[in-house]
Structure 1
């Protein structure tokens, strides 16, 4: 069986766990987990994700506040140019020492299970940005944190730049490189008259 400490995303935090006020700084690269977007919009599995920040110990758990920077690969949805840039995301998540359900199971002497029910409901209301500590609080595995944070931050319509002009809808030329490009538009309401005019001019020239 694989050990928690052998995980590529496991960070030892035993030295600050249950010691409120203590902190542990992080400044390291971790491999991008699988499942962050796809081949069109996403971050490739195994690419380095730079993680900086700190675990701060409080009474009931650890709070991690930091920043993730990952290599983002995509394609501009307007001009179709490839996008290959660093993708920074700020993150704040909570690693509780034990879940609300665990606390409820450990209670004794509650009447009609009311105290346990309150704890379970409170657990359901907790933020999704909550992750368990492993091995009795000895390790924080940040694999799920990296995946969830980056997936939620990915753009639905990535752009090479906010004011990208895109491609000409008629000929496909890049309007960023040819800002003055345009096509003469003929009003179809007068197309018949234009044809009649050309015919009359041709007859007069004979």
Structure 2
């Protein structure tokens, strides 16, 4: 049995019975998106209530961890706490056919060994709570798209943009003599 599995044998056939689960476990790998996530092995705090109901075991509570990653605009480091609410129904094996008939996507089955693996539930909840495009702050100006300069360091930073239709004339003008220098030499 791992840190993210729970034995529910004591709850079987005893509706109304409940167990409190409060533990800190190492976070599994891949609780992340491309730029941000919960580092593997970091503390994952679980505060859960497992309640026996006629259909199975209803798990409610919270899961908390420290998120770290990079801002999607300026690539600065981001760290903040994340807490998600957990509510999941696990069906008893004999109720599996009834659950299949109902086609309830939110219901998971309790294996025959009567241990619940919390990792898939936590992965679904925690990864979906992470921002797709994380930012260090709402108004982060990011990096210059031309040179990668950090825009926050100099908000006036810019590159002169020439209209591409005139770019060829710029090269022609560079090869021509300066009109001011030619008038001085003729006098």
CA 1:63/1:120 → structure 2, altered by over 3 Å: closer, same or farther?
closer
Partner of 2:137: 161
The structure carrying a bigger strand percent of its residues is: 2
Distance in 2 (alpha carbons) for counterparts of 1:145 and 1:39: 20
For residue 122 of structure 1, give the secondary structure of its aligned residue in structure 2: helix
**What's the RMSD between the two structures over aligned residues?**
3.4
Distance in 2 (alpha carbons) for counterparts of 1:42 and 1:32: 11
Tell me the TM-score normalized by structure 1.
0.67
- Post-superposition Cα deviations, 1:33-87, rounded to whole Å, max 9, x if no partner, equal 2333478543332221112232233221222222222232322222111223323
- Post-superposition Cα deviations, 1:65-124, rounded to whole Å, max 9, x if no partner, equal 2222223232222211122332332222112222544xx4xxxxxxxxxxxxxx47426x
Structure 1 position 72 matched with structure 2 position 67: yes
Contact 2:72 2:135 in 1 (8 A): yes
* Long gaps (5+) in structure 2: none
Q: 2:87 aligns with which of 85, 92, 96?
A: 92
Distance in 1 (alpha carbons) for counterparts of 2:91 and 2:124: 17
Tell me the TM-score normalized by structure 2.
0.73
Q: 1:48 aligns with which of 39, 43, 47?
A: 43
In the alignment of these two chains, the number of paired residues is 182
